[in-house]
């Protein structure tokens, strides 16, 4: 009993000391508290109402109720509070305002997937360097980057030496190689373009991201060139050379690729990459995407992309749960690109990148790339973004 009494005496003494401190010494304990939201953090298997306290740019605590004071507060009641979103296929670095535009959508990390090749890679790297959130680039194996007439229709543009030199110069910002393989981009060169992309990437231990769909070579032949850690984007591309056959079976080469650690990504985009009947067949075969991405550019607001939360919403109608959709753009995306290795989580100590989303119920029309629509009952809307512990103002 004496120990309890002594504890009480000590506690009372401490309270008296606290009361006598001058006001200036009673600093606010946290920089920011996001209060009362439904916190979905797949890295911690957490889906519950929580307060999130942030200090010094890091997550300080995630608890049922945090009574301490903070310099800033976000009232997230009725909203989702999730780790900052990671978009692994964008063209954010095509424009100076790209990074700040997607930041408002909740995107706190982005990959520019092949906007530029060796000739002008410095342009995209300059944008990545000045981006408020982490941004990195995949170098297009076509040395002139995206070309209306097709990046590698002229095979000489798939220049191994030029790409290698560019990577060696910008090892800190180039995190992989992009090979766009569609008929209107690479023509009959698709296989050789991919072989060269792999030759470049392998020598630096980097992944290749392939843009699949409507290729001249059979998809299985192309997939054979992919190694563990590589990424297949535009996985919902309709035939010819879709990942699913006419009878609704996923190709054996696709299953084998996933088995050996190749990632499958959505890459929504605006032309030729997603068609609802193909989505339906692939989702029914239970071959679900590892990651969602937008293939974002400055027109995305006006196309069926809109923003990453909208692209994430599309598969809720096909049975994906909210935590599964969040995991695809947080924990999984962070595994695909190790540059995001300490992101995609809200565990204490992690970088305080947070997206506040609203999951609205209603009737929402979602567009594919062929003017086809489906109606979904739920859609994520971006509400607020916190980057490195600071609330981003929305314009
Ligand atoms: Zn793209």
How high is the pLDDT of residue 390?
97
Contacts of residue 106, Cβ cutoff 8 Å, sequence gap at least 6? 82, 84, 85, 307, 308, 309, 355, 356, 357, 382, 385
Tell me the CA–centroid distance for residue 297 and ligand 1, in Å. Answer: 9
For residues 190-209, average pLDDT: 98
How high is the pLDDT of residue 84?
98
Half-sphere exposure of 149 (CA within 13 A, CB side): 5
How high is the pLDDT of residue 143?
98
Q: Using one digit for the tens of pLDDT, what is the confidence trace for 299-325?
A: 999 999 999 999 999 999 999 999 999
How high is the pLDDT of residue 394?
74
Tell me the CA–centroid distance for residue 16 and ligand 1, in Å. Answer: 63
List the one residue out of 242, 360, 368 whose CA is nearest residue 304.
368
8 Å CB contact between 193 and 216:
no
How high is the pLDDT of residue 341?
87
For residues 347-364, average pLDDT: 98
Q: Using one digit for the tens of pLDDT, what is the confidence trace for 13-50?
A: 444 444 444 444 445 799 999 999 999 999 999 999 99
Tell me the CA–centroid distance for residue 293 and ligand 1, in Å. Answer: 9
Least confident of 8-17, 114-123, 135-144, 275-284: 8-17
How high is the pLDDT of residue 229?
98
pTM over 0.85: yes
Tell me the CA–centroid distance for residue 76 and ligand 1, in Å. Answer: 33
More confident residue, 160 or 23: 160
Tell me the CA–centroid distance for residue 52 and ligand 1, in Å. Answer: 35
Tell me the CA–centroid distance for residue 197 and ligand 1, in Å. Answer: 16
For residues 250-279, average pLDDT: 97
Please determine, for residue 115, whether its predicted confidence score (pLDDT) is greater than 50: yes
Tell me the CA–centroid distance for residue 319 and ligand 1, in Å. Answer: 26
Tell me the CA–centroid distance for residue 111 and ligand 1, in Å. Answer: 10
Q: What percent of the chain has pLDDT over 70?
A: 93
**What does the mean pLDDT of the chain come to?**
93
Tell me the CA–centroid distance for residue 6 and ligand 1, in Å. Answer: 67
Q: Using one digit for the tens of pLDDT, what is the confidence trace for 206-253?
A: 999 999 999 999 999 999 999 999 999 999 999 999 999 999 999 999
Tell me the CA–centroid distance for residue 112 and ligand 1, in Å. Answer: 8
Tell me the CA–centroid distance for residue 276 and ligand 1, in Å. Answer: 19
Please determine, for residue 7, whether its predicted confidence score (pLDDT) is greater than 70: no
């Amino acid at each position: 009993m004496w120990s309890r009494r002594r504890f009480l005496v000590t506690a009372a003494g401490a309270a008296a000391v606290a009361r006598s401190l001058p006001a200036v010494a009673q600093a606010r304990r946290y920089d920011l508290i996001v209060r009362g939201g439904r916190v979905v953090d797949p890295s911690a298997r957490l889906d519950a109402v929580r307060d999130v306290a942030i200090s010094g740019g890091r997550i300080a605590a995630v608890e049922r109720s945090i009574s301490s004071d903070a310099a800033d507060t976000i009232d997230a009641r009725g909203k989702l509070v999730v780790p900052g979103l990671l978009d692994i296929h964008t063209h954010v670095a095509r424009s100076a305002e790209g990074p700040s535009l997607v930041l408002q959508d909740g995107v706190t990390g982005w990959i520019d997937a092949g906007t530029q090749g060796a000739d002008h890679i410095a342009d995209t790297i300059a944008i990545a360097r000045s981006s408020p959130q982490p941004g990195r680039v995949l170098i297009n194996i076509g040395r002139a980057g995206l070309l209306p007439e097709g990046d590698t229709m002229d095979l000489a543009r798939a220049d191994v030496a030029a790409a290698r030199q560019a990577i060696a110069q910008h090892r800190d910002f180039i995190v992989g190689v992009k090979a766009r393989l569609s008929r209107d981009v690479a023509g009959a060169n698709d296989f050789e373009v991919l072989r060269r992309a792999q030759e470049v990437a392998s020598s630096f231990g980097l992944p290749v991201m392939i843009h699949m769909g409507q290729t001249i070579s059979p998809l299985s032949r192309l997939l054979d060139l992919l190694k563990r850690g590589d990424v297949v984007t535009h996985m919902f591309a309709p035939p010819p050379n879709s990942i699913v056959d006419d009878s609704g079976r996923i190709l054996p080469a696709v299953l084998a690729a996933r088995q050996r650690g190749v990632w499958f990504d959505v890459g929504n985009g605006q032309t030729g990459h997603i068609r609802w009947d193909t989505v339906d067949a692939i989702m029914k075969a239970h071959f679900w995407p590892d990651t969602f991405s937008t293939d974002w550019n400055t027109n995305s607001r006006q196309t069926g992309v809109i923003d990453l939360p909208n692209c994430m919403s599309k598969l809720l109608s096909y049975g994906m749960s909210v935590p599964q959709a969040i995991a695809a753009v947080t924990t999984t995306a962070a595994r695909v690109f190790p540059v995001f290795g300490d992101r995609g989580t809200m565990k204490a100590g992690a970088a305080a990148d947070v997206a506040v989303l609203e999951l609205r119920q209603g009737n929402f029309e979602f567009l594919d790339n062929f003017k086809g629509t489906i109606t979904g009952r739920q859609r994520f809307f971006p509400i607020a973004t916190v980057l490195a512990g600071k609330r981003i103002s929305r314009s």
